[in-house]
Structure 1
Amino acid sequence: MSVVAMKPTAKAALWMLLALSQFMLMAVAGRELTASLAISQILFVRSLIGLVIIVGILHWRGSWSSVHRGQLGWHGLRNSCHFIAQFGWFYGLAMIPLAEVFAIEFTVPVWTGILAVLCLGERMTLPRLSSIVLGLLGMLIILRPGFEQIAGPAWVVLGSAVFFGITHTTTRKLTADNSAIAIVFFMVLVQAILSSIPAAIQWQQPSPLAWFWLVVVALSALLAHWSMATALSHADLGVVIPMDFLRLPLIALVGYWFYQESIDLFLLFGAGLMLLGNVYNIRAETKRIA
């Protein structure tokens, strides 16, 4: 392959490295914040900062016309589910090893695939079925029910992965008639509203360090998703998404270095099966579309 042909892939790799660094930074910031602040307060401040940024972008670009009020019900469903999913994710960050949170989160494609077939009428292909089976097998290896007592927070993170799957499924529905920035605008708006009352009830004055981490959570979340979207503009899913699985070994190292968390071989093996299923499915879908 020529150097010229490699340029888009190299760009995608660089953008994905930026996305991965932001996902890990967000996890560390979330771990630090949950030690002193309520999750609802974290989500409220994160959404409020995101809303200010998105409104600024819409005003600067003069693109308010892209934010229309059609499909408000779908926006409400999507962002309510996303709010629940994020709540469970942050709860997991506070209670179980970072690598376990990320590994369980990798079941999201399984639930998305199942829901897409049931709710959107998508076809159940052999690669998709293989991805689902390997994903569920990997999850069982990580959680090992019957051999170990599954910690309550692990169940919460698994539930959040299901709600992330609902979020992704409804996003597919919305992208047909809504721009990406419109979807993000309604996301931060709805989540700011949903988190406002519990945040007000549980509000504690953040320390200067907590304010720093709150800003990090908000900015890293926006930058991570923007970087991943940019990476996908330079290369296809078959290149970009497998790189996303580097989050697991990288966050395992972060947990080991900063929080003295052990690295579980069962977790890595289970996540490897999930990776195998997803790569197979993505490559098959890429060939089919091409």
Structure 2
Amino acid sequence: MSANISPDQSTSRVEFTHGLIWVVLSMVAFIGMSVGSRELAVSLSIRQVLFFRALVGLGIIVVLARKFLPELKQAKMIRLHIVRNVVHFTGQYFWTIGVVLLPLASVFALEFTMPIWVAFFAWLFLKEKLTRPRILATLGGFIGVLVIARPGVGMIDPSAGLVLLAAAFYALALICVKELTRECSPGVIVVWMILIQLPLGFIVALTDWHPVHLTDVPWMLLAGIGALSAHFCQAQALKRLDASVVIPIDFLRVPLAAIVGFYAYGEAIDLWVFLGGAIILLSNYQAVLKERRRYSLR
């Protein structure tokens, strides 16, 4: 059987496997970033959290600056870099509020409405077709959100609305990253992220500055290294896989976040979160299968 596999098919399978590995690494890094951000927000403002995350990232990329300098000087697609990072920075602000005020599993489950937005923005900006599987995935994703937020049970937490808004911003930023990988390396995409978001973070942090203590430094490092690693790994995955394949796999962050929240913060594991996350995941299943088949035929 394996003897009938062409070299191109073999290469595609290796790329697919490598892409999955990068997705798993990004999941771990995103959870580390969320824990560091939550701990920082105990004593610092959310605006400071965003600034110090980027500052730690700057310290890391300075070490690697020589490697990326030739490509940086070309400033390829610089306008798209700016748009991507302004949109992403705004989404980060809303998302971090959610991380501070909501259980981790709920934040990640609500964030996984992103495939809905990805399909919409891909249709709007990339002129991709809204096929029947994608429309069904959108409807199923909306039902999953209702299960998680449970609007019939009291008032919906406003923080949940901010996380949903953050998911839309993240989806738009992800579409930008997918376009950027056509001409820019994942490393340079991350470097531009730090260079653009650091001054943005500094400006907004000055409007709500709290005293910084030595005990904040370890959490700064965790949040900063986690953020940089997460976006680098995600860019590597998107370079190898379609966004519609990467994002649904990333749903595994929901149970992982629930476990971390249970052991680190004593958060109850809410079965409604898992049920809603499962509905969103299953609703994307057919669309993912279609995209995967298209990928394997390349």
Q: Which TM-score band (shorter chain)?
A: 0.7 to 0.9
Match of 2:80 in 1: 74
| Cα separation, 2, equivalents of 1:260 and 1:9 | 37
**Structure 2 residue matching 1:245: 3-state secondary structure:** helix
In structure 2, the partner of 1:20 is 27
Task: Structure 2 unaligned segments of length 5 or more: list them.
Answer: 3-9
The alpha carbon displacement at 1:8 in A equals 7.8
Distance across 2 between alignment mates of 1:74 and 1:232: 17
- Quote the offset at 1:244 in angstroms: 2.1
Counterpart position of 2:58: 51
- TM-aligned CA deviation for residue 28 of structure 1: 1.3
Distance 1:255 1:123 in 2: 38
Shift, 1:181, TM fit: 2.5
C-alpha distance 14-120 of structure 1, shift in aligned 2 (>3 A):
closer
Paired AA for residue 182 in structure 1: V
Cα shift at 1:231: 5.8
Deviations 1:71-101 (A, max 9, x none): 4332222111100111111111111111110
1:16 Cα deviation (Å)?
Answer: 4.5
Task: Give the stretch that moved more between structures: 185-194 or 169-178.
Answer: 169-178
What residue in structure 1 maps to residue 289 of structure 2? 283
Residue 208 of structure 1 corresponds to: 214
Question: Is residue 104 of structure 1 aligned with residue 86 of structure 2?
Answer: no
8 A Cα contact 1:58 1:64, kept in partner: no
The 1:231–1:84 alpha-carbon spacing in structure 2 relative to 1, beyond 3 Å, is closer
Aligned length: 287
TM-superposed deviation, 1:165: 1.4
Give TM-score, length-normalised by structure 2: 0.85
Shift in alpha-carbon separation, 1:13–1:78, aligned structure 2, 3 A: closer
State how far apart, in whole Å, the 2-side matches of 1:62 and 1:273 are: 42
**What value does the CA root-mean-square deviation take over the aligned residues?**
2.8
User: TM-score, normalised to structure 1's length?
Assistant: 0.87
Greater shift in the superposed pair: 198-207 or 121-130 = 198-207
* SS of residue matched to 2:64: helix
Structure 1 residues 12, 167: closer, same or farther in 2, change over 3 A?
A: closer
Contact 1:238–1:279, Cα closer than 8 Å, also in 2 = no
Equivalent residue letter for 1:93: V
Superposition deviation, residue 198 in structure 1: 2.3
AA matched with 1:179: S
Tell which deviates more after alignment, 258-267 or 7-16.
Answer: 7-16
Deviation at 1:224, TM superposition (A): 2.6
Superposed CA deviations along residues 6-58 of structure 1, whole A, max 9, x for unmatched, are 98887666655443332222111111111110111111121122133224323
**2:42 maps to 1:35:** yes
